[in-house]
Structure 1
Amino acid sequence: MKPFIAWKEKLNNVLFAHPIRKDVTRIAWPVLAEMLLGSLFSMIDMMMLGRMADTAAAAASVAAVGITNQPLFIGLALVQSLNVGGTALVSRFIGANQPHKVENTVKHVILLNLFLFAIPLSLLGILFTDQIMTVMGAYKDTIDMGRLYFKIIMLGFIFQALNFSLAACLRGAGDTRLPMKINLAVNFLNVIGNAVLIYGLFGFPKLGIIGAGISTSLSHLLACLILFSYIFKGKSIVSLSLSPFQFHKDTIYNLGRIGVPASLEQISLRLGIVLFARIVASLGTVTFAAHQICLSILGLSFNPGQAFGIAASALVGQSLGAGKPGKAQQYASETRKIGSVVSSFIAMIFFLFGPQIVRLYTHDPEIITNAALALKVIALVQPFQSSQLILAGGLRGAGDTLWPLLSTFVGIMGVRILLSYIFVVLLCLGLVGAWMAVFMDQLVRWALVYVRFQKGKWKYVALG
């Protein structure tokens, strides 16, 4: 008991004694907990599909989820482009002690996302399912297995987009606990719903991948209803009312000025990932299933960088709003240090225990061998990936979204796609070759973002 108490006190001193670290940890840990557990829930969902009795159906279902995720992530990337602007503006207004401007900004973000992206993209996905899945590189067995799942997920995309928008604004205000509590509770219910509908428990029909789609979309709807309920009742630092609303040119201009580069960044990222997925899909359904398992596991080590990047974005924005650029620099630097330590620890686990982790998904020895080897490369990616995600988050919080766009475009389109084609198609290095290309992509992106951050020009971006 005494060693545990001593360890706990030491951890508290490291994370909470220093005021900068205390602020970083206060904002980052709820996001990190939400993302890590959300990824675990997502992993469990894929494990359920991968462990269905019919191995051919299981492999096709896992591949179908991966194929569906690619256009879904493109849609979410467009939504997130406006959310980046929302986070930056809300954090500036909170830092400048101008809370009256926050509600108006939140309404702009919600309405623009809903009518520009969420509804139109959902309709496109539902109407052109087969064509989109074919473009993603799906084989006939994957399309047949995942067609209805794709349509159901795209319907739920509307509510998922609204959740993302509200959460981004809340995080800009420094409220990371409310999105965490709601999303964790709803994701837990989603896991139960998936088990019930995939396997047909408690008298429910055995729906397989369709059951997973129904449970997931209903979870997005439930989260949306709860989140709006809290905000309209004034239970959060960000509140909404039914007061008259008018679009403001300045707000739209600033959202666009920040959001357009962020949007182009996300589009180039997602298109690059789609092209990357097509190259990997050429290796066959079994190898592509192994690739999807790797991506699912990658979500865990990806999360610290994302979580601490969100913390950096909020704290940098609030510091600049308060006219304290030096403090903004301290926040970004300290956030990068803590996030890198966490991600490196998770990467070590992946490197040492890859086969054991992959066996949680599948019994197929070929998938286990391919995925476990690729995980060793993924582990090497983590320090660079985490650092660039956090520094890019700080730049976005300052409203400097052009440089993250440049680094992403060069990294994924100029490095990952070219090298993955060379390694996979020309040199026949298989799945490991594909992930070697990812390593080089992240290394280049880290170098570009780090140089921009060190120059410090982001401290002087003006937002009205």
Structure 2
Amino acid sequence: MSNNQRNMTLFALTWPIFIEIFLHMLMGNADTLMLSQYSDDSVAAVGVSNQILSLIIVMFGFVATGTAILVAQHLGADENRMAGEVSIVSIAVNLLFGLLLSIALVFFSKPILSSMDLPRSLMDEASSYLKIVGGFAFIQALIMTAGAIMRSYGYTKDAMYITIGMNIINVIGNYLFIFGPFGVPVLGVEGVAISTITSRLIGFIVSIIVIRKRIPTALPFRRLLNLPLSHVKNLLRIGVPSAGEHLSYNGSQMVITYFIASIGTNAITTKVYAQNLMMFIFLFSVAISQGTQIIIGHMIGARDFDSAYERCLKSLKIAIIISLIMAGIFSVAAEPLLRIFTSNEEIISLGKTLIYLTIILEPGRSFNLVVINALRATGDVRFPVYMGILSMWGVSVTLSYILGIWFGLGLIGIWISFIADEWLRGIIMLKRWRSKVWIHKRFVQHDKNTV
């Protein structure tokens, strides 16, 4: 392992990741905030479309996740050439996969939205947004892969700077197309979609330039067709099960959004506003979990299992403490924060209750974010998927219907189901980590790869 890799610390890796994810969230919130000045219905339309796009992004994530883990492990084992080969293969694979899904979204946007029981009044705007952003979704696939490469090499600051630039471009575009200064046509939802894809395209181009400059060996384009298929197999071996857990989560969220749509447009809008605020609460845990995954990936590559074990537990404690503090702060400020988005008293009152419930929800989410990412970094990727599917559908979806629809508790009942799901999975994941089964699995996988 190089000196640069040895000197990696959680703080040095995490704070740029924190800023980067924070800015990604700001990009989504900028869309919501600016559209809220245009129309609450437009917010609901984009919110439902983004639920579908989140599912698509998770499917892109299977390659990005595999890339992050394999590159970190190869670098930890001082296999720089292999790390570069994995990087270029992952970009090619995600480009092809992204193009296929983008084409599907363009042609099937309305049938997909109709299947979610979307109110007719929202269909035109939601479909327009989904066609534009979904049609260029492959750019997001490329950005995710390039970001994973930069972070695994330790260049988290570069990824952060690129995200800052993307946000600036996105906000400027939103302002131009929503408010129409200087004679620019007011395009509403379509304008927000155009701003989104433009900022992503520029962000990807800059990402490739940075990688070629920082890590000349990371993208051997000329050797792409001659690289072994084993890299693709390894990406799929780690990435597909890892994405399965996210895919299950987003799929369950789509079903729950269907339940919420049956309650009414106000319920959809409240969910969008509340979850936009909640993202800032668990942002710290997301950043800590990603920084921890990079460090543990390097440790596993160097076969330093004891340090990897302790690193996960230390990171988990930090994530839980910070999530509790942030949930408390946002609960106190819930009403003024919600009034930034809307003046609808019904939405504000219900949204406040949902934010209060995050004090219980977020510590449970911290377990899943940190420990599951740690398990992935070791190569133990299937167990979280199996447990995730059982809990998300058996607990979250089932209780959402029983409490939210059957007993008429609405969004409050649905939030209670989220709490039960996060805590159940979190405790199971912690027991898995403490069992150290992943050490044995790592030895078995290493022996298979060396045969």
* TM bucket, shorter chain: over 0.9
Correspondence for 1:45? 31
1:260 aligns with 2:245: no
Q: Which of residues 355, 371, 378 in structure 2 aligns to 1:398?
A: 378
What is the SS of the residue equivalent to 1:206? Answer: coil
Distance 1:396 1:64 in 2: 34
Distance 1:257 1:128 in 2: 30
Correspondence for 2:341? 361
Q: 1:25-424 maps to which residues of 2 (within 5 A)?
A: 25-52=11-38, 58-115=39-96, 117-232=97-212, 234-236=213-215, 239-245=218-224, 246-424=226-404
Distance 1:406 1:393 in 2: 15
1:458 aligns with 2:429: no
Distance 2:334 2:288 in 1: 25
State whether residues 148 and 210 of structure 1, in contact with CA within 8 Å, keep that contact through their aligned partners in structure 2: yes
1:434 aligns with 2:420: no
> For 1:87-129, what per-residue CA distance to the aligned partner results, in whole angstroms no more than 9, with x for missing partners?
11101111011111111101111111111x2101101111111
Q: How many matched pairs?
A: 439
Distance 1:263 1:30 in 2: 24
Amino acid at match of 1:83: A
> For 1:40-66, what per-residue CA distance to the aligned partner results, in whole angstroms no more than 9, with x for missing partners?
3322320111122xxxxx122111111
Displacement of 1:247: 4.1
Distance 1:343 1:188, change over 3 A: farther
State whether residues 155 and 217 of structure 1, in contact with CA within 8 Å, keep that contact through their aligned partners in structure 2: no
What is the SS of the residue equivalent to 1:282? Answer: helix
Structure 1: gaps spanning 5 or more residues: 1-18, 53-57
Displacement of 1:399: 1.1
Displacement of 1:237: 7.7
Distance 1:383 1:21 in 2: 29
State whether residues 85 and 399 of structure 1, in contact with CA within 8 Å, keep that contact through their aligned partners in structure 2: no
> For 1:422-460, what per-residue CA distance to the aligned partner results, in whole angstroms no more than 9, with x for missing partners?
111111011111111111110111011111111112234
Correspondence for 1:15? none
Amino acid at match of 2:26: L
Distance 2:216 2:178 in 1: 39
> For 1:328-348, what per-residue CA distance to the aligned partner results, in whole angstroms no more than 9, with x for missing partners?
112212222222222222111
State whether residues 125 and 154 of structure 1, in contact with CA within 8 Å, keep that contact through their aligned partners in structure 2: yes
The 10-residue stretch of structure 1 (117-126 or 143-152) with the greater mean CA deviation from structure 2 = 143-152
Distance 1:22 1:331 in 2: 12
Distance 1:131 1:112 in 2: 27
Distance 1:74 1:41, change over 3 A: closer
Correspondence for 1:16? none
The 10-residue stretch of structure 1 (446-455 or 22-31) with the greater mean CA deviation from structure 2 = 22-31
Distance 1:79 1:173 in 2: 20
State whether residues 88 and 220 of structure 2, in contact with CA within 8 Å, keep that contact through their aligned partners in structure 1: no
Distance 1:20 1:371 in 2: 45
> For 1:275-317, what per-residue CA distance to the aligned partner results, in whole angstroms no more than 9, with x for missing partners?
0111111110111111111121121123222211111111111
> For 1:177-230, what per-residue CA distance to the aligned partner results, in whole angstroms no more than 9, with x for missing partners?
111110122112211211111111222111111111110110110101111112
State whether residues 404 and 413 of structure 2, in contact with CA within 8 Å, keep that contact through their aligned partners in structure 1: yes
Displacement of 1:78: 1.1
Amino acid at match of 2:304: K
* Superposition TM-score, scaled by structure 2 size: 0.93
Structure 2: gaps spanning 5 or more residues: none
State whether residues 170 and 237 of structure 1, in contact with CA within 8 Å, keep that contact through their aligned partners in structure 2: no
Distance 2:184 2:94 in 1: 36
Distance 1:388 1:238, change over 3 A: farther
Displacement of 1:264: 2.1
Alpha-carbon RMSD: 1.8
Correspondence for 1:7? none
Displacement of 1:25: 0.7
Amino acid at match of 1:318: H
Distance 1:118 1:356 in 2: 39
Amino acid at match of 2:222: S
Correspondence for 1:444? 424
Distance 1:307 1:23, change over 3 A: same
What is the SS of the residue equivalent to 2:349? Answer: helix
